[in-house]
């Protein structure tokens, strides 16, 4: 089992032991009296990667770029243990919830932008130590390649590949191989692993820029 980043711990909350971070609740998750809140890996691809023991390379305090932030479920946990965290989300409705989450987190910066067009937020985002990607769209590898410019030389890409977003009819392993092959044009793949039992037909990928 890989080491967890500083600021992430395994805690017993409501009689169940699991990952937790310290911060205000964001989506109705259970908390304890010390301010820890459960990080549910079934609602978070990054949480599933950590719970599965993948070596994410995260140590805590990183500057992060989160692509596909949605309403803020996972990125709220990231902002609890990371440094400045830029949260890119394309859909206006979830961004309204994301803004509420950010109100209680001074390190979380929501951006109503399209992750496929990094030039639209390049003037805002500083170089980052980690890119976390959970974008449910065709061309997931291309999104990661387009955003590679933000990643420091020794940084990490932590990516969840959703097979059904690429091709709903193809065998997921075939899809994963194709995505990873494209991703390899700009990244060195350090680890890949299926995210079952937490998420069906998803692959977790840890990579660093070439």
Q: Residue 60: beta bridge partners?
A: none
Half-sphere exposure of 100 (CA within 13 A, CB side): 11
Tokens of 206: 């840890």
Cβ-contact 153, 210 below 8 angstroms:
no
Cβ-contact 171, 153 below 8 angstroms:
no
141 is in an annotated binding site: no
* pLDDT confidence bin for 3, thresholds 50/70/90: confident
- Helix residue ranges, H only, the chain: 45-51, 73-81, 92-103, 140-146, 163-166, 172-183
Q: What pLDDT is stored for residue 13 in this prediction?
A: 97
136 is in an annotated binding site: yes
89 is in an annotated binding site: yes
Q: What pLDDT is stored for residue 126 in this prediction?
A: 97
Residue 17: Cβ-neighbour burial (10 angstroms; 0-12, 13-18, 19+): exposed
130 is in an annotated binding site: no
For 130-188, what is each residue's pLDDT tens digit? 999 999 999 999 999 999 999 999 999 999 999 999 999 999 999 999 999 999 999 99
Whether residue 154 is preceded by a cis peptide bond, meaning omega within 30 degrees of 0, is no
Model confidence at 1: pLDDT above 60: no
114 is in an annotated binding site: yes
134 is in an annotated binding site: yes
Strands 187-194 and 108-112: unpaired
Q: What pLDDT is stored for residue 14 in this prediction?
A: 93
For 68-87, what is each residue's pLDDT tens digit? 999 999 999 999 999 999 99
73 is in an annotated binding site: yes
90 is in an annotated binding site: yes
Task: Return all residues near 87 (Cβ < 8 A) that are at least 6 apart.
Answer: 66, 69, 72, 75, 79, 98, 102, 108, 109, 110, 111
Average per-residue pLDDT for the chain: 97
Half-sphere exposure of 137 (CA within 13 A, CB side): 18
Burial 59-89 (b: 16+ CB within 10 A, else e): eeebbbbbbbbbbbbbbbbbbbbbebbbbbb
Domains of the chain: 41-209 (3.40.50.150)
């Amino acid at each position: 089992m890989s080491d967890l980043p500083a600021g992430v711990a395994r805690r017993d909350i409501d009689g169940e032991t699991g990952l937790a971070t310290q911060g205000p609740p964001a989506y109705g998750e259970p908390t304890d009296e010390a301010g820890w809140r459960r990080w549910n890996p079934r609602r978070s691809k990054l949480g599933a990667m950590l719970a599965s023991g993948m070596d994410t390379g995260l140590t805590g305090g990183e500057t992060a770029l989160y692509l596909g932030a949605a309403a803020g479920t996972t990125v709220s946990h990231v902002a609890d243990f990371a440094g400045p965290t830029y949260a890119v989300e394309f859909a206006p409705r979830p961004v309204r919830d994301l803004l509420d989450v950010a109100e209680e987190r001074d390190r979380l910066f929501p951006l109503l932008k399209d992750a496929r067009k990094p030039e639209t937020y390049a003037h805002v985002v500083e170089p980052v130590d980690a890119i976390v990607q959970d974008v449910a769209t065709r061309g997931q590898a291309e999104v990661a390649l387009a955003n590679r410019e933000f990643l420091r030389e020794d940084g990490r890409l932590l990516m969840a590949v959703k097979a059904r977003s690429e091709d709903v009819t193809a065998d997921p392993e075939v899809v994963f191989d194709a995505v990873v092959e494209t991703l390899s044009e700009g990244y060195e793949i350090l680890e890949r692993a299926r995210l079952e039992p937490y998420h069906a037909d998803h692959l977790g990928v840890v990579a660093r820029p070439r």
